[in-house]
Amino acid sequence: MIKDFLELAETHSRKWQRALQYEQEQRIHLEETIEQLAKQHNSLERAFRSAPGRTANPTKSFSEGSLLTPKGEDSEEDEDTEYFDAMEDSTSFITVITEAKEDRKAEGGTTGSVDWTSSDNVLDGASLVPKGPPKVKRRVRIPDKPNYSLNLWSIMKNCIGRELSKIPMPVNFNEPLSMLQRLTEDLEYHHLLDKAVHCTSSVEQMCLVASFSVSSYSTTVHRIAKPFNPMLGETFELDRLDDMGLRSLCEQVSHHPPSAAHYVFSKHGWSLWQEITISSKFRGKYLSIMPLGAIHLEFQASGNHYVWRKSTSTVHNIIVGKLWIDQTGDIEIVNHKTKDRCQLKFLPYSYFSKEVARKVTGVVSDSQGKAHYVLSGSWDEQMECAKIVQSSPSSPSSDGKQKTVYQTLPAKLLWKKYPLPENAENMYYFSELALTLNEHEEGVAPTDSRLRPDQRLMEKGHWDEANSEKQRLEEKQRVSRRRRLEACSRGCGAEEEKEADVYMPLWFEKRLDPLTGETACMYKGGYWEAKEKQDWHMCPNIF
């Protein structure tokens, strides 16, 4: 009887081993097939672009909704870039530029993009505000990025459909900044908001706010490396009252899902706050990054309160080819005091489209729905606005769709991206501000990102040591979580144990947002007072 049972067990064991081996072989075959298909797809695209009668970088002509001149042949697009067709019509309006009376007197009477920095309008020269010399000398370079080779697909193939924040990744995929520092980097063009303070017209102010919201994406065009996931309780301060006129504080308030709270105070008369939760999924050939949460901006003098949300970022060519990033989707900015609105559309990057690459269009309307300004530009270069003088419906197209025709004055330049520092390609394509964010500063909280050892080791080029340190920090965080749960489980019920797993932020607290109806972390005060006293006894030991 026992002998028969053993023979039967061995037979079943061999059967399951064969089935397991077959499944493993099928998985390897599927991975090889997907990789081969991706290579074939890339080859077909290159062959199509090199076909007779088609150039690799065709000149982009003016198109509907465009106020920008075409990009020239010095574009950085190359044969390794992956392209996609736009999924819907580019814009819902057509712009026709007319000449202003004062322009007709000018020689030649241009109807193109005009730099009106010499006029008295508050919008003029908004992007051309000179940056004053900082009172503290900041660094202008970091050590060059080491040339470590790593097969991205060998790691990412096991991540399809999974939430990437839960998957430990080596620092080889990172840049030496934390997500808190990347969030702070959105303030690089803060002068747009400083300028907006002086607007007497709320629709003009909306143009500057919209340009500021677009400018936050300008640093992402070359930044394909991921920032470090902050440790729970990690903070980052930017104390730049002297030269930038603002103070900024971020705190990591949740680990799963990763969520950061942010508060900014400007001495020029505005404040900004947000709680952003990052959701990221790998879809096989591309990576989607979805920032969730509302961004609030309030101007103290006027009481104008703006709310908007970020668009979706997508990293393409994960399997094969040159990595590149795109921003897509719609953003609605609402002034909750005046009910003015701005509808921004980020158009998908498509080689086969006639549109300007990385194009953004928008319309600013008042509470009655009347359009006042047309916005146009690209999220990696510049934004312009044009005042609408007349609007009318167009004739229906062949598919029955009808677009609004806006007759506008010549466009005004609102924002233009700063040039990257010299040798930026070897310094993770960091901007001038980004180079200073991880610079050592005295007096910061012991939880500040600047003091994170694995990030500092990576910046210095010691990647092997950085990976070891990163594993130590992650294990330390897991141990801290287990201790919190164990301490509560001794005398708590299931509900109390669940609450114990929720981290209590040090500088922010959960409140109900009356405008969005959502619960979000808002600054409760005390950080800058603690810094002045250098009293950090309440800070956790996370590093």
| pLDDT digit string, tens, across residues 280-290 | 887 777 888 99
pLDDT attached to residue 131: 56
Task: Reply yes or no on whether the pLDDT at 429 is more than 50.
Answer: yes
Amino acid at 422: E
Of 289, 293, 297, 373, the closest CA to residue 326 belongs to 289
Q: Could you tell me the CA-to-CA distances from 533 to 29, 234, 263, 508, 526 in Å, in that order?
A: 63, 20, 21, 19, 11
Average pLDDT over residues 24-30: 71
pLDDT attached to residue 399: 62
Amino acid at 222: H
Query: pLDDT grade, residue 12 (50/70/90)?
Result: confident
| pLDDT digit string, tens, across residues 37-72 | 666 666 665 655 555 544 434 333 333 444 433 344
Q: Where is 425: in which H helix or E strand?
A: none
Per-domain boundaries in the chain: 93-437
pLDDT attached to residue 81: 38
Q: What is the distance between the alpha carbons of residues 311 and 51, in angstroms, rounded to a whole number? A: 35
Task: Reply yes or no on whether the pLDDT at 6 is more than 90.
Answer: no
Which of the pair, 264 or 35, is modelled with greater confidence? Answer: 264
Average pLDDT over residues 198-203: 96
Which of the pair, 33 or 459, is modelled with greater confidence? Answer: 459
Of 182, 135, 174, 144, the closest CA to residue 449 belongs to 182
Average pLDDT over residues 239-261: 95
CB 533 within 8 A of CB 446: no
Name the pTM for this structure.
Answer: 0.78
Q: What is the distance between the alpha carbons of residues 326 and 358, in angstroms, rounded to a whole number? A: 7
What is the CATH number that goes with domain 93-437? 2.40.160.120
Task: Reply yes or no on whether the pLDDT at 468 is more than 80.
Answer: yes
| pLDDT digit string, tens, across residues 301-353 | 999 999 999 999 999 887 777 889 999 999 999 999 999 999 999 999 877 77
Task: Reply yes or no on whether the pLDDT at 88 is more than 70.
Answer: no
Task: Reply yes or no on whether the pLDDT at 494 is more than 80.
Answer: no
Which of the pair, 114 or 322, is modelled with greater confidence? Answer: 322
Percent of the chain with pLDDT over 90: 55
Question: Lowest-confidence range among 121-135, 388-402, 502-516?
Answer: 121-135
Task: Reply yes or no on whether the pLDDT at 217 is more than 50.
Answer: yes
- Tokens for 233? 């309780």
pLDDT attached to residue 91: 58
Of 398, 471, 459, 407, the closest CA to residue 430 belongs to 459
In 267-370, DSSP assigns E strands to 270-282, 286-292, 294-299, 305-309, 312-316, 324-335, 341-346, 359-365
DSSP 187: G
Class of residue 2 by CB neighbours under 10 A (exposed 0-12, middle 13-18, buried 19+): exposed
pLDDT attached to residue 76: 42
The whole-chain average pLDDT of the chain stands at: 81
Query: pLDDT grade, residue 248 (50/70/90)?
Result: very high
Average pLDDT over residues 112-135: 50
pLDDT attached to residue 188: 97
Task: Reply yes or no on whether the pLDDT at 368 is more than 70.
Answer: yes
Cis bond leading into 540, ω under 30°? no
What are 274's strand-pairing partners?
262, 295
Percent of the chain with pLDDT over 70: 73
Highest-confidence segment of 3-12, 158-167, 470-479 = 470-479
Q: Is 263 helix (H, G, I), strand (E, B) or coil?
A: strand
Amino acid at 134: P
Task: Reply yes or no on whether the pLDDT at 144 is more than 60.
Answer: yes
Task: Reply yes or no on whether the pLDDT at 461 is more than 80.
Answer: yes
In 179-269, DSSP assigns E strands to 226-228, 235-240, 246-254, 259-266
Which of the pair, 95 or 268, is modelled with greater confidence? Answer: 268
Sign of the CA dihedral running 383, 134, 242, 129: negative
Class of residue 53 by CB neighbours under 10 A (exposed 0-12, middle 13-18, buried 19+): exposed
